Amino acid sequence: MRTFKLQVQMTVDGYMAGPKGEMDWLSFPWTDDINAYIEALTDSVDCIVLGRRLAEGFIPAWAAGPEGEDQKSIDQMNNTPKVVISNTLTESPWENAVVAGGDLAEIVNGLKARPGGDMIAYGGGTLVSSLIAQGLLDELHLFVNPVAIGAGMPVFGDAGDYRRLRLVAARPFDCGITALHYEPKRV
């Protein structure tokens, strides 16, 4: 079965975006050590899972070839098939992306049962909270930026009951970000 990973940037106080979706708190520029870590993390990925709202910005931004990104990363983001989770879209307006609606657990478990490499979710907030709350993730890769913003979109917003995690690794990077790699504790 495929491994389903979450990769999310967050603040030290647990937010993935500000109250109005702001991302101006992210730490840049990234250093070679974090770039190598993310490359290793995503090397086995052959499916990107996104929520609809994030997809609306994410897919066109990568298609435009964001300034400051290396061509290998741009190609990987554009060439990797995407599944956009949405109960409002019926078909994908983007190349290399399909829309999946309905029961989230059924969608994810169906994707995980298919042959292939790992899957990775980048967000958005509603999707991330739902994936965590329903216990659908195999690995959580939280990239903690050295900033507190006080309010915003929490990573664990609708986690429901306690979510016990096991720390697999913690790695600080020269740019100030620390990666925390967790796996859910299965009871």
Residue 185 within any structural domain of the chain: no
Phi-psi region of 116 (alpha: psi -120 to 50; beta: other; left: phi over 0): left
Q: Is the dihedral of CA 126, 154, 62, 134 positive or negative?
A: negative
What's the CATH number where 59 sits? 3.40.430.10
What is the value of pTM for the model shown?
0.94
pLDDT digits 0-9 by tens, 31-47:
999 999 999 999 999 99
Q: Is the dihedral of CA 170, 45, 64, 89 positive or negative?
A: negative
Residue 25 within any structural domain of the chain: no
DSSP tag of 146: S
pLDDT digits 0-9 by tens, 126-156:
899 999 989 999 999 999 999 999 999 999 8
Number of structural domains found in the chain: 1
Residue 3 within any structural domain of the chain: yes
Residue 153's domain comprises: 1-8+48-119+129-178
